[in-house]
Structure 1
């Protein structure tokens, strides 16, 4: 797996790297109301899974807002933003920022998503910044592990991949 840094310091990622062509691993995270959410809940749709360390930081805020804006152009696409922020904090953040087109979900309980997609940072118990596109048949069609966790992902490439996925 490619080396990932957080504020220019190398970090250890738990789990296995996901690659284009893989069957998307399932996971269980929590919605803002504490109900479980899994990949299978959006079966039959294209999914963009936007992974951020914490919604209360500048780049994570911008990333989630950007995908919220892009959602209107994407039709049959579900957008999930995954972080280890508590569900209550995610709900507050979405309400404060008018986020309605992206579903924020929390991996705080057991890092199910983080370990399944190889983005759980062992040293910090945060998730590394990444974007995955999963098609309607649960095949991964796009992967970006952002090399420096404080940098932005390639939004255009992810949106193009979602538009191309079926």
Structure 2
């Protein structure tokens, strides 16, 4: 079980922990047009999935921008940000930040991603900050569950894992 604190307080993280070498679990989330999206929509692509508690906070915003800047040009790769923010809020964040090509997906509806990847902070009903890199065949090659939710992930490790595919 993943151990995480948020603002120094322990939180219960539920769902299935994902490990390097696992086949990436499927999930169903919503895009900004309220359409269902699943892992299979990115079949054959390298995937960096950046998970944040809320796009509308400084660190989550920075994390989303940094991964899109640092990994957005990797051949045959997609950078996906998942949070429990409503799709409308995610679209507004993208518009306010002037980011046209970011893929932001919402897990607010049924926590499918969070349950399948072990990122649901039960007390807050938010996603625990984490990063997953998945190859074209849906094998997990990099996992980071950030132990303190207000700390950034290891950007370089995740981007290097994606670039090495």
Tell me the residue number matched to 1:69: 69
Displacement, 1:95? 0.8
Tell me the residue number matched to 2:123: 123
In 1, Cα distance between the equivalents of 2:88 and 2:24?
Answer: 27
Give the 4+ runs in structure 1 shifted more than 6 A: none
> RMSD value over aligned CA atoms?
0.9
In 1, Cα distance between the equivalents of 2:99 and 2:144?
Answer: 23
Kept in 1: contact 2:72–2:78 (CA 8 A) = no
Tell me the residue number matched to 2:36: 36
Tell me the residue number matched to 1:10: 10
Number of corresponding residues? 165
String of CA shifts for 1:52-104, please: whole Å, max 9, x gaps: 00001111010001012123431211111000000000001001102233200
**2:130 counterpart of 1:95:** no
In 2, Cα distance between the equivalents of 1:156 and 1:64?
Answer: 14
Tell me the residue number matched to 2:58: 58
Kept in 2: contact 1:78–1:102 (CA 8 A) = no
In 2, Cα distance between the equivalents of 1:67 and 1:146?
Answer: 15
Tell me the residue number matched to 2:27: 27
* TM-score (ref. length: structure 2): 0.97
In 1, Cα distance between the equivalents of 2:16 and 2:71?
Answer: 28
Tell me the residue number matched to 1:163: 163
String of CA shifts for 1:109-149, please: whole Å, max 9, x gaps: 00000000000011000000000000000000000000000
Residue 5 of structure 2 aligns to a residue whose secondary structure is strand
Residue 73 of structure 1 aligns to a residue whose secondary structure is coil
**Is the deviation greater in 123-132 or in 74-83?**
74-83
Kept in 2: contact 1:11–1:122 (CA 8 A) = yes
**2:132 counterpart of 1:138:** no
Kept in 1: contact 2:2–2:118 (CA 8 A) = no
Gaps of 5+ in 1: none
* TM-score (ref. length: structure 1): 0.97
In 1, Cα distance between the equivalents of 2:99 and 2:25?
Answer: 26
**2:158 counterpart of 1:152:** no
Tell me the residue number matched to 1:48: 48
- Distance 1:72-1:126 versus aligned 2 partners, 3 A rule: closer
Kept in 2: contact 1:68–1:100 (CA 8 A) = no
